[in-house]
Amino acid sequence: MINAVIFDMDGVLLDSEPIHQKVNMDFFTEIGTPVSQDIYDRYFVGSPLAQMFEYLKSERGLEGDVSELVKRSNEKLAQEFEKSDIVPVDGVEELLSSFRERGLPLAVGSSSSPELIRTVIKKLSLESYFDHLVSGYEVEKGKPHPDLFLHIAGLLSADPANCLVIEDSSMGVEAGSAAQMAVVGVRNPSSGDQDLGKADMVIQNFSKKERCHILNFYGL
């Protein structure tokens, strides 16, 4: 039985991966560690910035303080999102409404910074749907570890086994699975060829047909 739902933000609530990729890859080049599209898709989509820079330090010998690099990258991301026209993914607001009509508490669980999450959710006018906006920065280990989702389950007073996670990245799906939660994988072309194999079900979009599929699959 599903008692709570956790949404990833980037690539699920909005098609923001192109913005993240452009800003991050430009910044990686700026600091002397350019990254290929294949590496970005495989290791970075859905990951916290700190994990990206730790990877570059261990694999590429990147120098510099990780917290400072994260700060600089977040500033660039915030500037880009402030000037970008962003809208919710087609059909996702209708799914949020369906969950709310069934009395389910909802949360955002994102690898983005707390400030960026608040900025994006406000620009999307989705604040009223969510009980909590939670960042991977608030836990010790980000996705693919289960810490973020388990933390959110506690905030929602929900048993992890009764939580549903909606994710578009292999990192997020793995984190939801590791938390012993139900997982819906969303195919987002902008997120690259993500391995969603650990999800209970995979959808192509949030069309009416796919929304009904989710509700029926979980007995909602």
Q: Which of 98, 112, 147, 118 is nearest to 8 (CA)?
A: 112
pLDDT classification of 216: cutoffs 50, 70, 90: very high
For residues 56-76, one letter each, b for 16 or more C-beta atoms within 10 angstroms of the residue's C-beta and e for the rest, the string is: beeeeebeeebeebbeebbee
Q: What per-residue confidence (pLDDT) applies to 190?
A: 83
pLDDT tens track for 87-105: 999 999 999 999 999 999 9
pLDDT classification of 18: cutoffs 50, 70, 90: confident
What does the alpha-carbon distance between residue 65 and residue 41 come to, in Å, rounded to a whole number? 24
Q: Percent of the chain, pLDDT > 70?
A: 100
Residue 7 is encoded by which pair of tokens? 């949404």
pLDDT tens track for 100-142: 999 999 999 999 889 899 999 999 999 999 999 999 999 999 8
What does the alpha-carbon distance between residue 167 and residue 111 come to, in Å, rounded to a whole number? 12
What is the value of pTM for the model shown? 0.87
What does the alpha-carbon distance between residue 178 and residue 198 come to, in Å, rounded to a whole number? 10
What does the alpha-carbon distance between residue 152 and residue 2 come to, in Å, rounded to a whole number? 14
Sheet of 182-186, strand order: 132-135, 106-110, 4-7, 163-167, 182-186, 201-203
Q: What is the largest CA-CA distance in the chain?
A: 51
